[in-house]
Amino acid sequence: MNEPVEYLPLENYEKLSEDEMQQRADKVLASLKTRRTIRDFSDKPVPRELIETCIKAAGTAPSGANHQPWHFVAISNPDIKKRIRDAAEQEEHEFYTRRASEEWLEALEPLGTDTNKPFLETAPWLIAVFAQKRGGVEAGMDKKNYYVTESVGLAAGMLITALHSAGLGTLTHTPAPMGFLTEICGRPKGEKPFVLLVTGYPAKDARVPKHALIKKSLDDISTFLD
């Protein structure tokens, strides 16, 4: 027979007035509106503890059956960053010269991206996010995980939000394919690289493509059935 579910009272719920709720939502929006994906990073070091705190924040994300099917590898070691840059640039060269369709290259044109990825060495931290096919609610378990992509996507979004809120710039980088990250980061074969988050301070002269400032309106992105 199944064990009965054990429940605990909900704790730490912050009850706010409607005015306070709106003010909080306005503040979150104002902050998130200032987030930009950047590719020009300063080499100024960022304390490891700040990165640890942001990873802990990401680790609070909801996940299928609460299996938390993610692993974050935070890299500041210059030799490892160089290995990652070399491998990524090799893949990107293939992508830009052979693999990408005309349509894809056209979509990327306004972003000004190319094979060259100096930020992979300049930025103080790279955070490789891995998705685990198997795991479980506790470390060391080996059960099937569920909604892995959705769960890791949510955690990655929360990581970006945490890093941005902490005053860091980020680049959501997806060198394709990124299988090389599994080997360089020493992760098991059952873990799939999900995204490589580049983070640090923006360079003094950091620029962003105008294209990235186009944001769809509320009407474009939502429907209310009330």
Tell me the C-alpha distance between 86 and 75, whole Å.
15
Which one of the spans 47-55, 108-116, 140-148, 156-164 is the region binding ligand IYR (CB under 6 A)? 108-116
Using the 8-state DSSP alphabet, how is residue 47 labeled? -
Choose among 154, 157, 122: nearest CA to 38.
122
Tell which one of 69, 175, 200, 202 touches ligand IYR (CB under 6 A): 175
Tell which one of 61, 108, 158, 166 touches ligand IYR (CB under 6 A): 108
Q: Is 132 left (phi over 0), alpha (psi -120 to 50) or beta?
A: beta
Q: How far is the CB of 203 from ligand IYR (least distance, A)?
A: 18
Which one of the spans 74-82, 127-135, 151-159, 168-176 is the region binding ligand IYR (CB under 6 A)? 168-176
Tell which one of 67, 85, 164, 173 touches ligand IYR (CB under 6 A): 173
Burial class (CB in 10 A: 0-12, 13-18, 19+), 34: exposed
Q: What number of chain residues touch ligand IYR (CB under 6 A)? A: 9
Q: 166 vs 46, 85, 128, 201, 209, CA distance in Å?
A: 11, 25, 19, 11, 23
- The yes or no reply on residue 174 touching ligand IYR (CB under 6 A) is yes
Interacting residue ranges for ligand IYR, rule: CB under 6 A:
92, 95, 108, 111, 113, 173-176
